[in-house]
Amino acid sequence: MPLVAHSDLPTFERLKREGETVLSADHAIHQEIRELHIGLLNMMPDAALAATERQFFRLVGESNQIAQFYMHPFTLPELKRSAEATEYVQRYYEPFDRLQAGGLDALIITGANVSQPDLALEPFWEPLIEIIGWAQEHVTSILCSCLATHAVLQFKHGQKRRRLPAKRWGVYRHRVMDRTHPLVNDVNTLFDVPHSRFNEIGRDQFEAAGLHVLAESREAGVHLAVSEDLFRVVYFQGHPEYDIHSLLKEYKREVVRFAKGEREDYPPFPENYFTLQTQAILDEHRDRLIAARAKGEPLPAFPEDLIASRLHNTWHDTAEEVINNWIGKVYQVTNMDRKLPFMEGVDRDDPLGLRA
């Protein structure tokens, strides 16, 4: 059911143009449909900030529960951002203390770029722990994505992530390990998930933490796990929220880094993502780029448009179903009569103050 554009965040308009159902705040308040308020702690770097919003907003909005979804993006001031990104956050994102006062039904926590060997040394470590601690007491369910999963396993269960021999990067086939669990109800028993990471939490570590593994890949390891109380905390290690072009853009970024001399080796292909024909096109581009760089000639443009039309999304439907199941459990458990303090005193005929 629909997302509600309760602010002027550009993501709402972008999703509406892409065909998603997005209600205006004025329209939403005149419908007799229950609200769900979902926080999005977006820790992604500047270049991926808005794209990550769209990816998670889209998955939530495509859930088929009968509810209006109010998405509340926020971030951590400890994360370094450009002046432009800081202005964007100040304009469109909400302060955490306001969300604490208003309350949330569920919370999604994204991944983040890191620079330290130990997550506890990152500047976001303490504030992230504070937010998760609050959420465990006040939010129906927390969904942790990638690095957030690693952080919770470390500070709550003492399980530190392990460095991989090489970046795990691509699209991998996963198997449902427990078909009876409500989060994977009616989900394909075999499904794909993109991964993009240098570290991992192993199955033995999830089990040592008392967590229940729901989906695992022979190549990529555990993707989906849950707390022992079924869904209080949900852990993603992959990136089911990724768009069809997300890995392509990551690959392009690494090619550009090579062209600029920021990495020594030419990046390998993400696994199980490009077709053989597409790989041949990209191999040709690599040869032309290396030859041009050696001669000091202008570098050829990356063939992004040509490649984009040849990609296939083999994971989104399953991701949508898992999120749908998660939202369904939140919907069932959340107090239907909960009042949101930050809505008190708001003109329900003009919640955004647009007529003032």
pLDDT of residue 29: 67
Per-residue pLDDT band for 2 (boundaries 50, 70, 90) equals: low
The amino acid that residue 269 corresponds to is F
E strands, 278-351, where?
none
Per-residue pLDDT band for 209 (boundaries 50, 70, 90) equals: very high
In the chain the domains, ranked by start, together with CATH numbers, are 3-242+313-343 (3.40.50.880), 246-308 (no CATH)
What is the rounded distance in angstroms from the CA atom of residue 224 to the CA atom of residue 236? 5
Tell me the average pLDDT across 188-197. Answer: 96
Per-residue pLDDT band for 125 (boundaries 50, 70, 90) equals: very high
Query: Residue-wise over 63-82: b if at least 16 C-beta within 10 A, else e?
Result: bebebbbbbbbbbbeebeee
Per-residue pLDDT band for 346 (boundaries 50, 70, 90) equals: very low
* Catalytic residue, candidates 62, 72, 146, 285: 146
Tell me the average pLDDT across 6-28. Answer: 80
Tell me the average pLDDT across 115-140. Answer: 93
Check residues 38 and 336 and name the one with the higher pLDDT.
38
Dump pLDDT digits (tens) for 294-339. 999 999 999 999 999 999 999 999 999 999 999 988 887 875 445 4
Strand order across the 22-24 sheet = 22-24, 3-5, 68-74, 35-41, 106-109, 141-145, 233-236, 221-226, 212-217, 162-176, 190-200
Bridge partners, residue 216, by sequence: 175, 222
What is the rounded distance in angstroms from the CA atom of residue 349 to the CA atom of residue 92? 21
Per-residue pLDDT band for 31 (boundaries 50, 70, 90) equals: low
pTM of the model: 0.86
Place of tokens 């900030």: 49
The amino acid that residue 178 corresponds to is D
Q: Which of 89-103, 148-162, 339-353 has the lowest mean pLDDT?
A: 339-353
Q: Is 146 a catalytic residue?
A: yes
Q: Which of 94-103, 119-128, 335-344 has the lowest mean pLDDT?
A: 335-344
Number of H helices, E strands in the chain: 12, 11
Q: Is 223 a catalytic residue?
A: no
SS3 state of residue 161: coil
pLDDT of residue 34: 77
Place of tokens 């509406």: 16
Closest CA to 181 of 217, 211, 139: 211
Within 10 Å of residue 206's Cβ, how many Cβ atoms?
23
Q: Is 241 a catalytic residue?
A: yes
* Catalytic residue, candidates 150, 239, 285, 316: 239
* Catalytic residue, candidates 62, 94, 241, 320: 241
Tell me the average pLDDT across 6-33. Answer: 77
- What mean pLDDT value characterizes the chain? 90
Q: Is the pLDDT of residue 226 over 90?
A: yes
Check residues 89 and 4 and name the one with the higher pLDDT.
89
Task: Label residue 118 exposed, middle or buried (CB < 10 Å: 0-12, 13-18, 19+).
Answer: exposed
Question: Which tokens go with 315?
Answer: 């994971």
